[in-house]
Structure formats: C-alpha cells, structure tokens
Structure 1
Amino acid sequence: MRLIAHRGFAATAPENTIGAVRAAAERADAVEFDVRRCGSGELVVVHDETIDRVTDGSGPVAGVTLAELTDYPVLESDERIPTLADMLAALPPSVEVNLELKEPGIAADVLAVLEDAAVDNRVVATSFLVDELRAIRERDPDRPIGLLASRHLETPVTTAVELDCDVLGASRWRCLATGIVPRAKAVGLEVHAWTVERRSMATLLGRRGVDCVSADRPIAV
C-alpha cells in the first residue's frame, strides 16, 4: 500500500503549491496536483475553475493572466499558484506524481511541458476526461495514464482497458461496495482510492486489493 498526498496534503498545507508538494514528498510515496490553463495561456496548478476559494481574488482561472495570479497568496500563505513547469522543476527526485488534467484541450501542452522538464519522476497523467487521456495516449504511448472513475461512468474498467490505462482511480466507497477492484486487478490495472482519512480505512482498502490511497493529511499506511 502506498500513500498519495492529495493536492500536497491539502488539509495541512496550502493546496497545490510548491511548498505543499515539497513538504508532502517527505511523508508520502506520491504527490497529486491539478492542472488547468490560465488566461494568458500557461498551464497552472490549481484545482477549482475559479480562484475564489484559494485566494482573495475572484474570477475564473481561464480569465486571469499568470502575472495577475502571482499577486494572490494561496490560502493566506506565502505561496502562489505555480505554473506546471515551476512545479515540475521543484519536485524532489524520488517522489511519484499524479498529475490530474482538469479541463479539455490541454493534453498536448501538458506533454510538451513534461518533455521540456525532463524529470526522472514517474508522472502518471490522470483525468476524469476520457478524451484527454486518449489524446495523451495517442501522442505518448509510453506515458503512464490513469482513468478517474466518476460516479456516472458505468463501465470504468472496460473504459480504462480501451484507453490502455495503467491506473484506475475510484472513490473509497466504490472500491468497497462494488466489484471494481477485483475486476481492475484481473486486467492488470493499478488501483487508487480517494480520499482516505483514517489508517483503518486504508488498511481495509489494502485488504481489498487497492494499491494506493489518496489522503488530505499524512496517515500511516
């Protein structure tokens, strides 16, 4: 069982920031962060469609330039919303990365940034967006990809196989209450479960065959 720091342990640090990810890398096997495009075209690391919740600014990320984003501290810290390039440059070399594509149309640019960064870390491109994963796979056959199964996706294992995924992610309850884990393991998929708050839940998921659990704070797994 491995531990993924969700947004860099969002409950204990300013989420999706360089400082959070660096600190989380000391306590987790992998770090997870979210990528979307800002108003001036750069790829930035932020979860929400707007900056309202994580900064004292307002408006959609897609309508705010990178220069404007740097004016806003994240969750009253000294951190700022980073570019994907800056986040990759700051990664400790040993930590695995789950990079979630949050919006359509960014797959090619994500791959370009990854190529320029030339990091040694294992970077798994994940998404709920099937078309983005398909675009990643078409452009980079060797890139690990992971399908995140929304509650509306009725055939997650079949879809993941069709996309040639390496990873299938699902909610902890879906992992426990359905047959998704054994079906995924039977076809060689690595299974990730989100979001876990207690060691007891991580232990139970591990017994069911889950490989990694995502958490908002450090837990022993």
Structure 2
Amino acid sequence: MRLSPFAPIDALRAPPPEPARVAWLAGREYAHRGLHDDVVPENSPAAFAGAIARGMGIECDVQKTADGRAMVFHDWELDRLTDQTGATGAHTVAELEQLTLLGSAERVPSLDRVLDQVAGQVPLIIEIKSKRDRKVSPLCLAVLRALEGYRGDHAVMSFDPRVGRWFSVHAPETVRGLVVTEEGNRGLRGTVERHLALWHAAPDFIAYDIRDLPSRFAAAQRERGLPVLTWTVSTGELRERAAVHADAPIAEGEGVA
C-alpha cells in the first residue's frame, strides 16, 4: 500500500495500541444490539441472552437518562421501540426501566443491569450515543461509573471523537473505538475529516461501515495495528466482505453465522 501523506501524523497523534490490549477484539462475531429478530427486540435482555448462549460478543447502545445514568437504548425518541413518545433522555432510569419494548414483555435495561447479565461471559462493546450540541462528559462519566469493578472484556466506541478523547484522559485503561462511515463524505474533505477525528479520538480500534469497505482509510489503520470491526453485517455477501477487509463483524439477521 502506498504511504498516505497523513501517515506520519496518524502515528504521532493516534499511535496503535499494544497488541495484547486489543487482541480479544479480533476473530470474534458481535451481535448488533444483541441477537434480535422479529420476536426478540433489539437491545433487550432476551437479545443479550441469545448472544451469550451462542458465545457471541455483544454490541449495545447507551444514552444518558434525565438523572444522569446510562440506559441501553438506541433511539433518541421512544416512539419506534415502545408505546410511549418523546425524548428518551427526558426520563429517569426508573421510568425507562418500567417501559416494555414493543411486541414483547422485555423491559428497557440500564447499563448496570446489562453488565450484571453479561458478567464477563462474552465481550461487550458499548456504543455511546451523542449529539454535537451536547457535552459528552456526563454520559461518559455515567458509563465509567457503571463499568467500575467490571472484569469482563469490554470497550466503548462512538461516532463522536470527543468520546474517545474523554476516555483517553479520564479512563485510559478502557479500550476505546471510533465509529466511522464515509456515507455522503467520500471526497478529499471527507478524508481530512476522518483523519482529524482519528487524531482527536486516538482510538484503540475503529468500527467501520461495511458499505464503505474496502476503504483506503480503514486498510491503512488496520495495517498499522488498529483492529477494524465492521457494521452492520446483515447478509451473507456482507459477511464475506467483512472476512476479507475487517477483523470482526458486528452482525444481525442473515449476517450472523
């Protein structure tokens, strides 16, 4: 591979992790929001139980509650996944834990409850949801507090490079990742923005949009020692692509082996 003009700065601002630190990430399949389907809701205790039973790693999403806790839920609004409406973050953890996920008896779990359920049986990757107009520190701190004393393999990741930077400063022992998509931003400007995000986050790994693989940016980071995970692997064809261009798939549906 031809050396990128960004390579020297990549090495300086986002050095690769010690291989032993991230060895557990590779060669593993991760269940995207747990092992869910038309019956088992995403990010539910049942979805996580299904992944654990199959020995799959788990990827889940977290948001901050009104009382500063970390809740496992993907959407900014409650409408798609529950019979309630309105902003997810406007509710307390106690209120959210009373909500059932549509089409099931599964309740929305806090990160504390998910950690108790997983209990180190399989690796766990926590995607921290953020918005550019919000500070990331309250949710990062809530996640860190929930993880205190947790012994299983785990990592945090986010599209927002501020999350990686926060953990690099306040919890450098926590493995951290940068989530990347090139959708709608594939030109020179996009390339520069991806490198700027990389330098700010200083991640231990990247989680790449499978639609963008193969990617020169992803390949360059992988070559210099950052594991590449890829999402969302939802078909057999995408699974084959992931096997060539990434170290581990984050999969759902027909993409699960």
State the structure with more CA Rg: 2
* Aligned counterparts, 1:144-155, within 5 A: 144-151=175-182, 152=185, 154-155=191-192
Instruction: Provide the C-alpha distance between the structure 2 equivalents of 1:49 and 1:136, rounded to a whole number of angstroms.
Output: 23
| Matching residue of 1:213 | 249
Deviation at 1:150, TM superposition (A): 3.4
Question: Residue 87 of structure 1 aligns to a residue in which SS?
Answer: helix
Deviation at 1:123, TM superposition (A): 0.9
Contact 1:100–1:125 at 8 Å: present in 2 too?
Answer: yes
| Matching residue of 1:17 | 44
| Matching residue of 1:50 | 77
- Where structure 1 has 5 or more consecutive residues not aligned to the other structure, the ranges are none
Root mean square deviation of aligned Cα: 2.0
- Where structure 2 has 5 or more consecutive residues not aligned to the other structure, the ranges are 1-26, 131-135
| Matching residue of 2:154 | 123
Match for residue 63 of structure 2 among 36, 41, 47? 36
CA displacement 1:150-200 (0-9 Å, x = unmatched): 335534356435533111111112122x21332011221100111112233
Kindly provide the amino acid, as one letter, of the partner of residue 22 in structure 1: A
Question: Residue 37 of structure 2 aligns to a residue in which SS?
Answer: coil
Q: TM-score, normalised by structure 1?
A: 0.89
Q: TM-score, normalised by structure 2?
A: 0.77
* Aligned counterparts, 1:1-221, within 5 A: 1-12=27-38, 13-103=40-130, 104-105=136-137, 106-115=139-148, 118-151=149-182, 152=185, 154-155=191-192, 156=194, 159-160=197-198, 163-176=201-214, 178-208=215-245, 210-217=246-253, 219=255, 221=257
Instruction: Provide the C-alpha distance between the structure 2 equivalents of 1:194 and 1:215, rounded to a whole number of angstroms.
Output: 7
**Deviating runs (4+, > 6 A) in structure 1?**
none
Kindly provide the amino acid, as one letter, of the partner of residue 222 in structure 2: K
Contact 2:233–2:242 at 8 Å: present in 1 too?
Answer: no
